[in-house]
Amino acid sequence: MWQGIETGLVTAFSISNLAVVVVGCFAGTVIGMLPGLGPISAIALMIPISYGLDPAAAMILMAGVYYGAIFGGSTSSILINAPGVAGTVATTFDGYPLARRGQAGKALAIAAYASFSGGTLAALLLLLAAPALARVSLSFQSADYFALMLFGLVAVCAFAGRGQVVKSLLMTVFGLMLATVGTDPTAGVPRFTFGQLDLIDGISFLLLAMASFAVSEALMTVLNNEDSARQAAKAAAAGAGSLALSKKEVAEIAPAVGRSSVLGFFVGVLPGAGGTIASFLAWGMERGLARGAARAAFGKGSLRGLAAPETANNAASTGSFVPLLTLGIPGSGTTAVMLGALLSFGIQPGPRLYIEEPAVFWSVIISMYVGNIVLLILNLPLIPYIARLLAVRKEILVPLILFFSLIGVYLVSFNVFDLWLMVLVGVAAIGLRLLGLPLAPMILGFILGDIMEDNLRRALIISNGSPAFLWARPSTLFIIVATALVALFPLFNRRAQAGEGG
Amino acid sequence: MGSRDRIGGLIMLAFSLAYGLMALALDSSAGLAAGGFSPRTLPLILAASGALLALLLILRPPPGTAEAPPALQLRHLNWRPALLLCAVMLVYAAIFPYLGFILSTVIFLSAAMVVLGIRSPRLLLLAVLPVTLLLWLVLSRLLGIYLAPGELLLLLAAQ
């Protein structure tokens, strides 16, 4: 293990990779700040660039962009009450009131310190948890992997929130269906290609991710006629105020940061839960723990109320790398896009990654930590300047986003057919958005589709076509039972809520 | 709320059924040796689960959440520019092989910005040209990616 860490340190601290982290965090912050564009879009936009890098640098770039995008989302949440990312919605509760009181600088500083602490504690936990989990999962067979992926997909849907469970499951199945387009791996039979040669290799995951996130998010801002540029210009002109925190304020938020880090990390490890749920839980937990005047201040600019979701959100983002790196199973839409990128490098994340590519495994973990430092010392002082970017007019920004998405996909395939397909997918994605059907489970299903079919086939061959593989081994049975329990979670949850609400 | 979910469910049901029918037409003999697993095994499972979930959504639409997205009032949406943008993207795909990277990109970006309401020619030039040229330089000179100059331009040059 130490040898691996050493390799990882050398890789992460090479000049070029440090530069990659800095660029990634910066680009992520800028993109994440733009209302409507979330981390999935930010990462997808980076993928064409990452193809020019080696796998470790590419992962580092994407991890940096991920962090940057979350931090950028916090910035727009605080400054203009427009969370760019679902994970920073809870940040607006107390962050925006602070900014309106002229304490935007303080709020941004707390967001950065809290993210930093959350990221640090979670990176330490990751350092401990990942190798242990990787070792356990080494004994896993196809049947276990199939069961695990089933678990991941079901868990994402079960935690999707009220009224969203069936829709998420449906979209997961839809994503799995899209993954079957192309030549089938068993018999080499083309499936669902409509005789099109361009579809023989299937739909490119980059195309799907770009079209259903970057393109459709950009078009949605046009459809909704959102215009935050003027508001942002006002916020940028008003100035941020002091960034300094007093000792008393630090003492006030420190315990909240500690609690939220641990909570956030473990929520993040659970497939499907992720940053959004973690940040709401942390905010709720701190409000529950607060007494008297401190409690009344929540939602009106409480420092604790701002620190808790920011910490938890970042800790959860780090936690979500645990299943990705050790099991090769992404627990969220964002890590699913990263998995897709890794797969196109020919790297299969999972327990083998820890053994075969220690440089990738450890340098990503270490770079995440470096990313936190970069955000703190580089981005925080620059925020007032970056915030001016928010004032760039939508009329210019949207065409540029569309252009970068189109050309990014084209540069990978050099096939104009992909451009046509992208517009089609983008329009379909808008339709799904308007119907209230979530797209993140779709991309998750799409990326897991091939691996899942592969493992199902192998498991069935080993068990001679009998479904007994699902319960033949204790480890598989355990995961299947866990899947069933998670699948029942929404039912219990509804009953519990009904009981509470009366 | 419920009606929106029903429409979504109906569309997904139709999709699942069509997908299932296409899956049935797939060759199933190829997988007999492989534990009964053929190219259509998974698609059929997926079609069945998709149809089931879609039916569930149609028959028991979930109660509306408190924070329904504001995008619901379809009539209040800004359809014209969004549709025009899609058209501009399609035009981009159509002219790209003929006009090459630089020319088609300049056309695409300017058209998209005009659609969104930018009228000043100076602003258009300032926004479009630097981006196009810079990216072209980075791609073709710095990264050494071959960007085909466009068939029409090649034809003109040949004459």
The one-letter code for the residue type at B140 is S
pLDDT of residue A85: 65
Q: How confident is the model over A108-113, as a mean pLDDT? A: 86
Residues B55 and B104 in one domain: no
- Which of B10, B90, B116, B118 is the best substitution to test chain A (most A C-beta atoms within 10 A)? B116
Name the phi and psi angles at A191, rounded to 5.
-120, 135
- Least confident piece of the model among A123-132, A264-273, B74-83: A264-273
Residues B58 and B89 in one domain: no
Residues B7 and B60 in one domain: yes
More confident residue, A133 or A234: A133
Q: Is the pLDDT of residue A206 over 70?
A: yes
- Which of B6, B10, B37 is the best substitution to test chain A (most A C-beta atoms within 10 A)? B37
Global ipTM:
0.88
Token pair, residue B5, equals 């979910």
The beta-carbon neighbor of A460 closest among B7, B35, B89 is B35
B12 in any annotated domain: yes
Q: Is the pLDDT of residue A368 over 90?
A: no
Inter-chain CB proximity A222 and B82 less than 8 Å: yes
The beta-carbon neighbor of B5 closest among A52, A430, A436 is A436
pLDDT of residue B32: 54
Instruction: Determine contact, residues A201/A226, Cβ cutoff 8 Å.
Output: no
Instruction: Give A11-66 as a DSSP string.
Output: HHTSHHHHHHHHHHHHHHHHHHHSTT--HHHHHHHHHHHHTTS-HHHHHHHHHHHH
B70 in any annotated domain: no
Quote the CA–CA distance of A74 and A118 in Å, as a whole number. Answer: 14
Inter-chain CB proximity B43 and A180 less than 8 Å: yes
Inter-chain CB proximity A174 and B54 less than 8 Å: no
- Least confident piece of the model among A222-231, A297-306, A377-386: A222-231
Residue A186 CA: distances (Å) to CA of A198, A290, A457: 20, 58, 8
Quote the CA–CA distance of A16 and A12 in Å, as a whole number. Answer: 9
Helix (H, G, I), strand (E, B) or coil at A436: coil
Number of independent structural domains in chain B: 2
B72 in any annotated domain: no
B85 in any annotated domain: yes
Residues B84 and B149 in one domain: yes
Residues B61 and B115 in one domain: no
Residue B111 C-alpha, separation from nearest chain A C-alpha, in angstroms: 9
B97 in any annotated domain: yes
Asked which of B65, B86, B105 is the last residue of a domain, the reply is B65
A198 lies within 8 A of chain B by CB: no
Closest CA to B67 of A86, A302, A129, A400: A86
B93 in any annotated domain: yes
CB pairs under 8 A between A and B: 182
Inter-chain CB proximity A460 and B36 less than 8 Å: yes
Q: Is the pLDDT of residue B12 over 80?
A: yes
pLDDT of residue B65: 47
Q: Is the pLDDT of residue A32 over 50?
A: yes
A494 lies within 8 A of chain B by CB: no
Quote the CA–CA distance of A364 and A402 in Å, as a whole number. Answer: 29
Range of the domain at B134: 77-158
Residues B14 and B41 in one domain: yes
B26 lies within 8 A of chain A by CB: yes
- Which of A166, A168, A194, A456 is the best substitution to test chain B (most B C-beta atoms within 10 A)? A166
Instruction: Give A358-424 as a DSSP string.
Output: HHHHHHHHHHHHHHHHHIIIIIHHHHHHHHHHTTS-HHHHHHHHHHHHHHHHHHHH--HHHHHHHHH
Helix (H, G, I), strand (E, B) or coil at B7: helix
Quote the CA–CA distance of A203 and A188 in Å, as a whole number. Answer: 16
B154 in any annotated domain: yes
Quote the CA–CA distance of A147 and B110 in Å, as a whole number. Answer: 50
Q: How confident is the model over B111-124, as a mean pLDDT? A: 90
Quote the CA–CA distance of A318 and A311 in Å, as a whole number. Answer: 11
A472 lies within 8 A of chain B by CB: no
Residues B59 and B102 in one domain: no
Residues B83 and B118 in one domain: yes
